[in-house]
Each structure stands twice: as C-alpha cells, then as structure tokens.
Amino acid sequence: MEKTKRRKRNTRQKAVVYQVVLDSSDHPTAEKVYERAKRELPTISLGTVYRVLKELVSEGKIKEIIVNKQSHFEKRTDFHHHFICRECGKIEDVETPLCRYTCKKVENKGYVVEDVEYKFYGLCDRCAQKLGVLQEGSAQS
Ligand SMILES: [Zn+2]
Ligand SMILES: [Zn+2]
C-alpha cells in the first residue's frame, strides 16, 4: 500500500514537471522549473525536480542545454541552436541551415552525428537597442 502511494506521487510529480517544461519557451533552469511546479504541487522539492528533469532528459522527452555551466531545459528535442544574450541572459531558439553543411563534413569522416548545437553569444535586439549598439539595417531583416 505504501509503495503504491509513493509510485502514484512520483507519477504525479513527473507529470507536473513535464508539463511545466512543455509550457515554458524560455529554457528555464531547474530552479525556475521548481518555482513553476510548486504552484501546482506545493510539496514538491527541488531535489525531486532535479531527478525528474534528468529522467525526462534520459527518456528523450526533453532536452538539456548547458549555458554558462548551468543546465537549462526545453521541450524541443530536434536539432536547433541558441542565441544567448550576455546582458539579460535570455536564451532564444535559432534556426540555421549552417549545421547541415558542418554535419556533412563531420559525417564524411565516418562519424555518426546524433546531436548538434551551436551557441551564439552576444546582445539580443532589445539590449542592443538599449545599449545603443544596434547595427544599421539589422532591425529590418
Ligand atoms: Zn538581452
Ligand atoms: Zn531551444
């Protein structure tokens, strides 16, 4: 009986954490996921959130990206890249065909590529504007 109860709780915790990641498009850290999961499940602990996130990553349901030595989590598990703003810390998805070319080069060596991620570091459009470093014409495209 105790065991069934615990398993039920675990399933619920996992469902809530997974839903939080599905609802987030800002690549949250485990701490952010914890804050959001607590609204739904006030008794959940940060340790549980960590464990469940790792589980979901190993099951391929979510993806973990490391930015500035910190783990961030997201629902997208396909090939895509990230832009990271050094001013506000925003992480945004970036689509670029660049990787197909680079992949081919690596695959030509006989390697099997399973994942590719480029990270672009700099200033987002808003921070660039705020700091007055927006380049001529860059806002149009
Ligand atoms: Zn920014
Ligand atoms: Zn992403």
Which pLDDT tens digit goes with each residue over 51-100? 999 999 999 999 999 998 999 999 999 888 999 999 999 999 998 877 77
Does 87 lie in the same domain as 58? no
Give me ligand 2 centre to Cα 65, in Å: 8
Does 59 lie in the same domain as 4? yes
End-to-end Cα separation, the chain, in angstroms? 61
Which ligand is nearest to the Cα of residue 117, counting in written order?
2
Does 90 lie in the same domain as 36? no
pLDDT in tens, 28-40: 999 999 999 999 9
Q: Is the pTM of this model over 0.85?
A: no
Does 110 lie in the same domain as 64? no
pLDDT in tens, 103-125: 888 999 999 988 888 899 999 99
Which ligand is nearest to the Cα of residue 130, counting in written order?
1
Query: Model confidence at 141, in pLDDT bands (50, 70, 90)?
Result: very low
Give the helix/strand (H/E) hosting 40: helix 30-40
Rg (CA), the chain: 19
Give me ligand 2 centre to Cα 63, in Å: 8
Which ligand is nearest to the Cα of residue 91, counting in written order?
2
Query: Model confidence at 139, in pLDDT bands (50, 70, 90)?
Result: low
Q: Look up the domain containing 129 and give its range.
A: 79-141
Does 100 lie in the same domain as 117? yes
Does 124 lie in the same domain as 85? yes
Does 106 lie in the same domain as 91? yes
Give me ligand 1 centre to Cα 80, in Å: 20
Give me ligand 2 centre to Cα 64, in Å: 9
Residue 31 pLDDT: 97
Give me ligand 1 centre to Cα 130, in Å: 9
Residue 136 pLDDT: 62
Does 97 lie in the same domain as 59? no
Torsions phi, psi of 82, nearest 5?
A: -130, 145
Query: Model confidence at 22, in pLDDT bands (50, 70, 90)?
Result: very high
Residue at a domain's end among 42, 61, 77? 77
Residue 55 pLDDT: 97
Q: Which of helix, strand or coil describes residue 51? A: helix
CA atoms within 13 A on the CB side of 18: 14
Give me ligand 1 centre to Cα 83, in Å: 10
